Amino acid sequence: MRVGVAGAGGKMGREVCRTVVARPDLELVAALDPLHSGADLAQLIGVDADGLQVSGELDALTAAGAEVVVDFSRLEAARQTLAFCAEAGIHAVVGTTGFTAEDLEDLGRRFAGPAAGAPNCIVAANFAIGAVLLMRFAEMAAPWFDGAEIVELHHDGKLDAPSGTAMVTAERIAAGRAATGSGEFPPDRTVTSLLDGARGGVGPAGVHLHSVRLPGLVAHQEVIFGAVGQSLTIRHDSYDRASFMDGVVLAIGMVAARPGLTIGLEHLLGL
């Protein structure tokens, strides 16, 4: 499989390049990044890249015969790259975030799949398989418990709280409740609060979120469900940016066989 990487000079892009280079079943044929145009890719990623130079031009993808492009870039750049790929018949695996509903509709039209003479596209906000499973399991478990709270723990350099993944997890729990008619969790019975300034808050369906920020931590999330006499805890620990790579490789391997636009890694996992 001939792979091009868009946003090759970013943190995720460089990790994708290293991953593709390391796998015998994948071939890295193009690295795109206007900010590093002309750079030696090997220098950028710290491993041998067969002499590949970073390019600033989209037609480097067609010139190199890329079959699939992995895009971890910025929103504006990604819009152009994906329009180009759709035209050129190149499948796309997209981790860039910020797409609007209109963007996704547009992508659906462009990447209409082989039956429409077009390539396919997989867009996902989170490529960590464990995080995607956690969210799905939380949604499935939600109707069967009397309460749920989320504790997410990150390094102290993280500036927002709660984390985006925690927010989405709370929404998924609410969706799981709604789908079975089980509604919001019972309201909080706390009547005395001795302190204020807590990090976190109350999210959808009454789910409480707690944000821990400590030096040394990486990215961790725990969902705790409670019912009479028991609790169920689902925890995802991400120790390294490499945790996203299994999901990216999975998407590269499946994109040719998944007609049209797929939104969310969970569909590749058969969840």
Q: Of 136-155, which residues contact a copy of itself (CB under 8 A)?
A: 136-137, 140-141, 144-149, 151, 153
Say what the alpha-carbon torsion angle 176, 179, 180, 184 is, to the nearest 10 degrees. Answer: 60
Query: How far from each other are the two terminal CA atoms of the chain, in whole angstroms?
Result: 26
Tell me: does residue 51 bind a copy of itself (CB under 8 A): no
Classify residue 50 as exposed, middle or buried by CB count within 10 Å of its CB (0-12, 13-18, 19+).
exposed
Q: Do 236 and 220 touch, CB atoms closer than 8 A?
A: yes
Q: Which of 81, 69, 76, 84 is nearest to 16 (CA)?
A: 69
Half-sphere exposure of residue 191: CA atoms within 13 angstroms, side-chain side: 0
At its nearest, how many Å lie between a copy of itself and the CB of residue 150? 10
Tell me: does residue 21 bind a copy of itself (CB under 8 A): no
23/79 with CB nearer a copy of itself? 23
Tell me: does residue 124 bind a copy of itself (CB under 8 A): no
Give the C-alpha distances (Å, rounded to integers) separating 257 from 154, 186, 243, 250, 268: 36, 44, 24, 12, 11
Applying CB under 8 A, among 241, 253, 256, 263 the residue interacting with a copy of itself is 241
Cβ neighbours of residue 85 closer than 8 Å, sequence gap 6 or more: 61, 69, 91, 92, 119, 121
Tell me: does residue 224 bind a copy of itself (CB under 8 A): yes
Clarify whether 158 is annotated catalytic. yes
121/170 with CB nearer a copy of itself? 170
At its nearest, how many Å lie between a copy of itself and the CB of residue 233? 4
At its nearest, how many Å lie between a copy of itself and the CB of residue 186? 8
Site for a copy of itself in 154-193 (CB under 8 A): 156-162, 167, 180, 186, 188-193
Residue from 154, 208, 210, 236 carrying the catalytic annotation: 154
Clarify whether 154 is annotated catalytic. yes
* Phi, psi at 115, each rounded to 5°: -60, -30
88/224 with CB nearer a copy of itself? 224
Tell me: does residue 225 bind a copy of itself (CB under 8 A): yes
Segment near a copy of itself (CB under 8 A); pick from 70-78, 85-93, 230-238, 252-260: 230-238
Using CB under 8 A as the binding criterion, the count of chain residues that bind a copy of itself stands at 81
DSSP per residue, 18-44: HHHHH-TT-EEEEEE-GGGTT-BHHHH
Applying CB under 8 A, among 234, 248, 251, 252 the residue interacting with a copy of itself is 234
Active site residues: 154, 158
